[in-house]
Structure 1
């Protein structure tokens, strides 16, 4: 019971923190970005859209987040369905390469995951937020050290948002919810592709 109350308090605190974040709007031009994925491959939105009909771009918090791992596993389990619609899947996270590897081990993710080392991709998509010191300390008490996980002391996390970007580079669909437990279902993503 104590754990449930702590979890609810943590959700409430994080929801208040990200309330100001809005993300981008459907129909707006998706910010271009380039990053390096877990295999050392350069991944760019521009190049992905040259060779695919759409990009499913999602942001996740880290390997320590069970909701992120569940969502990534669902994307991986349905990857053939997504690629059958000519979609290229890209995950973006602030966590280090070492922790991305842990995510992949937990989820068997076979798509590109890019470390957002300077938070520039999260900022461009309007999903970044700074964790306040009290919440950072609470997380540390749960054994989650963002400084170690992300390799910096910025305490930045993304709202776990998902964007579908069409061939023209416009945002066709957005799932943006400050409640980190809520994610876009694969069924919904498939219906939007």
Structure 2
């Protein structure tokens, strides 16, 4: 299967997901007074590395918010799976569920078939991370085909802070076609 990768600098697709309270939320739009958005796609509750990464991300939320970056994490899990996953999560940022296979493809994510029913009951997205700027364009993108390779959150936050500093005038990288 081939995937259609999203390019740095491209407009982030209009993809919506559902929050636990039932609210449908656009993934790309920041809330409150923040003007950038970090969208983290994780595999689902079956993935212990995702649980660890989400809990680690929580430690960086104050720095991201101070930099004007809103955060959301989303998976293809059901509402029930997300509710069960909350038992292992200690996060304050919004979690969304129900990402469809078509939405995963629109985001250019790698999609895996479960190895067994013990793993999960649906095809799921492999990890993806998108930082969307104030214009709705992809400033930073990281897409993996497995849970073992993900960006260091400390380095990501440091980098976002550096990019956002006006004196650095740092452009979106990787846009040569």
Q: Is the 8 A contact 2:112 2:126 kept in 1?
A: no
The alignment partner of 1:121 has SS state of: helix
Q: 1:32 to 1:178 in 2, by over 3 A?
A: same
Alignment of 1:139 onto 2:116: yes
- Tell me the equivalent position of 1:42: 24
Structure 1 range deviating more: 69-78 or 40-49:
40-49
Q: Distance in 2 between matches of 1:42 and 1:31?
A: 15
Q: Is the 8 A contact 2:18 2:24 kept in 1?
A: yes
Q: Distance in 2 between matches of 1:188 and 1:125?
A: 23
Q: CA deviation at 1:130?
A: 4.5
Q: Distance in 1 between matches of 2:31 and 2:6?
A: 19
Q: Is the 8 A contact 1:28 1:170 kept in 2?
A: yes
TM-score (norm 1): 0.73
The alignment partner of 1:110 has SS state of: coil
- Tell me the equivalent position of 2:43: 61
Q: CA deviation at 1:167?
A: 0.8
Unaligned runs of 5+ in 1: 1-16, 148-154
> What per-residue deviation string (whole Å, max 9, x for no partner) do you get for residues 56-96 of structure 1?
10111111101100110011122111111111111110111
Q: CA deviation at 1:164?
A: 0.4
> What per-residue deviation string (whole Å, max 9, x for no partner) do you get for residues 103-154 of structure 1?
22212122111113533431221114252xxxx4x434xx32x22xxxxxxx
Q: Is the 8 A contact 2:39 2:73 kept in 1?
A: yes
The alignment partner of 1:48 has SS state of: coil
Q: Is the 8 A contact 2:130 2:138 kept in 1?
A: yes
The alignment partner of 1:99 has SS state of: helix
Alignment of 1:78 onto 2:78: no
- Tell me the equivalent position of 1:23: 5
Unaligned runs of 5+ in 2: 162-177
Q: 1:176 to 1:93 in 2, by over 3 A?
A: same
Q: Distance in 2 between matches of 1:80 and 1:92?
A: 20
- Judging by fraction of residues, say which structure has more helix: 1
Report how many aligned residue pairs link the two structures.
160
